[in-house]
């Protein structure tokens, strides 16, 4: 039997911060340290200020989301499949997505560049899926992208509220994105 490795203090702090800040953006560093099971001194060894912690969280969120999508889409036969698998990979990372959506990083050029890159990649993927016939050609790409982002958020909210599993939330979001809410004929 392989012994279970205890997460590092840094990993515990980051995970606790994501959990707390996703539901309570005003959570204190003391609250985060308590949730992580570390003392405030340990937290301050890694992060000298709240801003340092928030920046580290934002960078981690972007990296985790990119890694999840890249892994999920590595062998997709179509762009439409890649869009679905992106949604499927991102639903479990909803706390990361919500953290980024609720945080103001407009003044950080590095994070702004990452956001712009992710948005451009989503637009390109939606355009490619649209060219494959997944979406009606008259629907503006940015409408589809915004719908994708809002449905991702709704899926995560449903999972967080324990209304459905990540797989169910992904399927509901995908059905809504691709078929709308009307009765199927």
Distance CA 115, CA 70 (A): 16
What pLDDT was estimated at residue 183? 62
What pLDDT was estimated at residue 1? 46
What pLDDT was estimated at residue 76? 95
Task: Write out residues in the chain with pLDDT < 70, as ranges.
Answer: 1-7, 102, 104, 106, 181-185
What pLDDT was estimated at residue 99? 74
What phi and psi values does residue 138 have, to the nearest 5 degrees? -80, -10
What pLDDT was estimated at residue 5? 43
What phi and psi values does residue 97 have, to the nearest 5 degrees? -60, -45
Q: pLDDT tens digits, residue range 36-67?
A: 999 999 999 999 999 899 889 988 988 999 99
b or e along 86-118 (b: 16 or more beta carbons within 10 Å of the residue's beta carbon)? Answer: bbbbbbbbbbbbbbbeebebeebeebeebbeee
pTM, two decimal places: 0.83
């Amino acid at each position: 039997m392989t012994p279970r490795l205890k997460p590092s203090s840094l990993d515990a702090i980051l995970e606790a911060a994501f959990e707390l800040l996703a539901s309570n953006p005003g959570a204190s560093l003391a609250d985060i340290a308590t949730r992580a099971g570390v003392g405030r001194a340990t937290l301050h060894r890694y992060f000298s200020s709240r801003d340092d912690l928030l920046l580290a969280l934002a960078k981690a969120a972007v990296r985790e989301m990119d890694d999840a999508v890249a892994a999920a889409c590595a062998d997709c036969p179509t762009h439409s499949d890649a869009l679905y698998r992106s949604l499927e990979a991102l639903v479990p990372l909803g706390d990361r997505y919500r953290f980024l959506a609720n945080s103001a990083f407009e003044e950080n050029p590095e994070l702004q560049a990452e956001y712009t890159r992710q948005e451009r990649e989503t637009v390109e993927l939606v355009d490619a899926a649209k060219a494959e016939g997944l979406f009606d050609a008259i629907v503006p790409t940015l409408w589809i992208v915004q719908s994708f982002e809002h449905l991702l958020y709704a899926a995560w909210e449903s999972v967080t509220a324990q209304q459905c599993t990540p797989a169910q939330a992904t399927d509901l979001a995908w059905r809504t994105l691709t078929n709308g809410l009307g009765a199927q004929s």
